[in-house]
């Protein structure tokens, strides 16, 4: 594998982790969030600051980073208890813009220059780079998927599904919306924080513009395209949206246009996602199994 | 004092332009409950078509007419081809469709006209005034007169005509309105036409006011106007106008005096979160 495709692969794995986190919030708990890149950024900045200014290693900083992003997620999940759908969607956009401008304008966070000189991850005395970083990210992705799978099988997961389908009915059955929505927010944002930490130590230089609203749209598109609420959907979405720009790269000027047009076509003709209910993939799969289409 | 008044006048002008963009968004939200992010792309198309017609004919009236026609068409196309088939899905599906539309149209503009900032050297046929040492340029007069005229016309249409009645009925309950003999699909298309034509005017005014037309000129308004319709009360047209003018004045004064170290684009969202904590239904919205 060339250096270039390893880089693309690593970025796809990192984005898949972040997309899985968003899937917990949007797909499992049914809370729309358009500001997920903010938590990706908070994770990246927290890890970058702890390892540069704080002098910690990646591994000792990681639990702190997950704690910080989860805590911020809990705090920013609070509006979801009060606001519904469209209001929540726009509020999360707002949170994204505000977080980015804080990173950009507060000198503590490096201001417009960002943070550079982030150390590499050291594992078993080896500096992780290239293929090993790809494998490390894939390992973290596998762990994230395992946690997602366990979550859907757990009591908390079932409670989230119930709240997503009908909040009034679920809460009258004794399922606390406060407790389980916030659980989903903490879990989802901590996964974004993990992705952010990996991103910071992979790029070794971060700036606020990496985590702006376009990134949030990209992550949400991955989740929706792949199939919201499915286990593998976000990974498939990250793969498709990560590889497409590379496929279109020879088309230079037309690349972004084709990318946007294709996104539009996919959402227009497969609104449930590539792996969601009634999708082409699901229908073909059940036809192959000989069941009803 | 003189500086303060001049800042005020500029702020109101910027607010009036915001209001013309936000209006279309509020109308569409009121009727379809869709966050029409691609509205900002319609506004960009308006600026480009306006500039193209102006360079060909040197008539600002023809340019405005052409831009309004094209934008009304683009608006209806977006509604027919993207939003209408996606109405039965959860709100984030049309929202992503809308964002994809915005990106695609921005890229089309960039491919058609190049990535450069083009200038819009039009002189608007309005007089300039000097009142008590304060100069009100012809562009400012034009922004005031045109936006006041457009707002008054829209107010008249939505509250005093049969079409407006049908629009209000459709936004309250589409199924009942259809049962009462209102062709609700036609009303939706007309709403998109009106909102998009107003966005075209806003695009031309912004182009002339800043003397700049560029492909990503819609990017910041796209999200700022979302905050504005929330602050105004989702779907409330007077609320959207009030919020726009308050933001225009607030931005200009804060930049001019307070020297707040945050970019002014985050300001709309900070104001929005503050308003939501105080009045979750928005300034002029109703509960329920």
Tens digits of per-residue pLDDT, B214-239?
A: 988 888 888 888 888 888 877 778 88
Residues of B (165-194) whose Cβ lies below 8 Å from A: none
* Contact call for B104 and A261, based on CB within 8 A: yes
* A11, A62, A134, A195, B77 from A138: Cα distances, Å: 10, 17, 6, 11, 43
Q: Where is average pLDDT lowest: A211-215, B17-21, B185-189? A: A211-215
- Cα A157 to chain centroid distance, Å, stands at 18
Give dist(CA A105, CA A235) in Å, integer: 34
Residue A111 touches partner B, C-beta closer than 8 Å: no
Q: CB of A241 within 8 A of CB of A225?
A: yes
From CA B33, how far away is CA B163, in angstroms rounded?
A: 20
Burial pattern A224-259, b for ≥16 Cβ within 10 A else e, equals bbbbbbbbbbbbbbbbbbbeeeeebeeeeeebbbbb
pLDDT digits (tens, 9 = 90+) for B51-100: 999 999 888 889 999 999 999 999 999 999 999 888 888 777 888 889 88
What does residue A278 show for φ and ψ, rounded to 5 degrees? Answer: 65, 15
Quote the pLDDT of residue B51. 93
Residue B50 belongs to a domain: yes
pLDDT of residue B262: 64
Q: What is the mean pLDDT of residues B191-200?
A: 92
B99 touches chain A (CB under 8 A): yes
| Alpha-carbon span A3 to A264, nearest angstrom | 31
Q: Determine, yes or no, domain membership for B91.
A: yes
Q: Is B95 on the interface with A (CB under 8 A)?
A: yes
A224 interface with B at CB cutoff 8 Å: yes
Top residue of A90, A255, A270 to mutate, by most chain B CBs within 10 Å, is A90
Structural domain containing residue B103: 13-216
Q: In tens digits, what is the pLDDT along chain A, a chain of 293 residues?
A: 688 888 888 889 999 999 999 998 888 887 888 889 999 999 999 888 888 877 777 788 888 889 999 998 888 777 777 766 677 788 888 888 888 888 887 777 877 777 877 777 777 777 777 778 888 889 899 999 898 899 888 888 888 788 787 878 877 887 777 888 888 889 999 999 999 999 988 888 888 888 888 788 888 888 888 888 888 888 988 888 888 878 877 776 777 788 788 888 888 887 777 777 667 777 777 777 765 44
Asked whether residue B196 is assigned to any structural domain, the reply reads yes
For the domain made up of A3-250, the CATH class stated in words is mainly alpha
Residue range B38-44: mean pLDDT, rounded: 92
Kindly state whether residue B249 falls inside one of the protein's structural domains: no
Q: Which residues are CB-neighbours of B4 under 8 A, at least 6 positions away?
A: none
Judge whether B264 lies within some domain: no
> Please, are residues A214 and A257 in contact by the beta-carbon 8 Å criterion?
no
Q: What is the pLDDT of residue A293?
A: 45
**What are the structural domain ranges in chain A?**
3-250
Share of chain B above pLDDT 90, in %: 25
Check residues B14 and B278 and name the one with the higher pLDDT: B14
Per the structure, how many domains does chain B have? 1
The C-alpha atoms of residue A100 and residue A110 are separated, in whole angstroms, by 12
A204–chain B nearest CA distance, Å: 26
pLDDT at B49: 94
Q: How far is CA A228 from the centre of its chain?
A: 12
Q: Is residue B239 part of a domain?
A: no
């Amino acid at each position: 594998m060339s250096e270039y495709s390893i880089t693309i692969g690593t970025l796809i794995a990192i984005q898949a982790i972040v997309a899985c986190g968003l899937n917990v919030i949007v797909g499992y708990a049914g809370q729309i969030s358009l500001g997920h890149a903010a938590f990706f950024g908070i994770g990246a900045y927290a890890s970058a600051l702890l390892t540069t200014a704080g002098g910690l290693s990646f591994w000792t900083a990681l639990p702190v980073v997950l704690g910080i992003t989860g805590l911020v997620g809990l705090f920013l999940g609070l509006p979801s208890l009060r606001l519904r759908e469209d209001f929540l969607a726009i509020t999360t956009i707002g949170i994204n813009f505000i977080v980015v401008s804080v990173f950009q304008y507060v000198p503590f966070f490096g201001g417009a220059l960002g943070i550079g000189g982030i150390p590499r991850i050291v594992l078993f005395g080896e500096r992780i780079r290239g293929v090993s970083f790809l494998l490390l990210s894939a390992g973290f992705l596998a762990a994230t998927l395992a946690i997602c799978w366990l979550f859907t099988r757990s009591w908390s997961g079932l409670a989230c599904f119930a709240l997503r389908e009908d909040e009034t009915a679920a809460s009258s059955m004794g399922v606390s919306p406060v407790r389980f929505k916030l659980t989903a927010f903490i879990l989802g944002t901590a996964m974004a924080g993990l992705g952010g930490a990996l991103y910071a130590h992979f790029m070794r230089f971060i700036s606020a513009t990496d985590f702006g609203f376009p990134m949030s749209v990209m992550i949400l598109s991955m989740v929706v395209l792949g199939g919201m609420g499915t286990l593998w959907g976000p990974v498939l979405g990250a793969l498709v949206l990560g590889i497409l720009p590379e496929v279109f790269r020879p088309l230079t000027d037309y690349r972004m246009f084709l990318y946007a047009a294709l996104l539009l076509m996919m959402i227009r003709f497969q609104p449930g996602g590539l792996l969601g209910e009634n999708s082409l993939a699901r229908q073909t799969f059940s036809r192959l199994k000989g069941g009803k289409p | 004092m003189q500086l303060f008044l001049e800042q005020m006048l500029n702020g109101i002008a910027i607010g009036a332009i915001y209001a013309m963009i936000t209006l279309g968004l509020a109308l569409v939200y009121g009727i379809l409950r869709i966050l029409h992010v691609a509205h900002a792309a319609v506004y960009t198309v308006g600026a480009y078509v306006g500039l193209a017609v102006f360079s060909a004919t040197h008539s600002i009236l023809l340019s405005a007419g052409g831009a309004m026609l094209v934008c009304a068409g683009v608006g209806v196309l977006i509604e027919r081809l993207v939003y209408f088939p996606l109405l039965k899905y959860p709100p984030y599906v049309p929202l992503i469709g809308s964002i994809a539309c915005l990106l695609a149209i921005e890229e089309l503009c960039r491919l058609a006209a190049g990535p450069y900032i083009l200038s819009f050297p039009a002189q608007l046929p309005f007089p300039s005034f000097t009142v008590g040492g304060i100069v009100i340029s012809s562009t400012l007069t034009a922004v005031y007169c045109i936006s006041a005229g457009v707002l008054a016309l829209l107010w008249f249409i939505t509250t005093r005509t049969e079409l407006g009645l049908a629009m209000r009925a459709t936004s309250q309950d589409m199924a009942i309105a259809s049962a009462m003999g209102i062709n609700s699909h036609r009303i939706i298309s007309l709403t998109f036409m009106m909102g998009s034509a107003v966005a075209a005017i806003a695009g031309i005014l912004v182009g002339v006011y800043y003397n700049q037309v560029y492909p990503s000129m819609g990017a910041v308004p796209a999200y700022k106007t979302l905050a504005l319709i929330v602050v105004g009360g989702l779907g409330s047209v007077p609320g959207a106008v009030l919020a726009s003018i308050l933001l225009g004045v607030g931005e200009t004064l804060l930049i001019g005096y307070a020297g707040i170290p945050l970019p002014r684009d985050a300001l709309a969202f900070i104001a929005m979160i503050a308003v939501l904590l105080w009045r979750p239904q928005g300034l002029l919205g109703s509960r329920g």
